[in-house]
Amino acid sequence: MEKAVSKVPEFKQYYLSEFEFFDGDEFITFNIIGINVARNTVTVAVSDRGKISIIDFELMVDADDNLYFEYGCTFKKIYLNDFMEV
């Protein structure tokens, strides 16, 4: 059973933070635009190969209490701590 996401720090810390992920072919840019603690979701603007999508991802917590969501067909873990303010 997954841990509940109840220890989300203040949202302002993550608002419009950016993370770039290299999928082996292209860089994919993520920008956090919302966190819903009640639904355990994070809303992210994803820029992938010239296409911008707004996607809700389920927030999960690993064994070290780090928040992350999974992206792509390989379910790559994208940690919220890796996002930086731009």
State the 10-residue block means of pLDDT for the chain, 86 residues long: 53 76 92 89 94 95 92 91 84
Cβ atoms of residues 32 and 41 within 8 Å? no
* Predicted local distance difference test score (pLDDT) of residue 11: 58
Residue with tokens 């390989």, as numbered in its chain: 74
- pTM for the complete prediction? 0.78
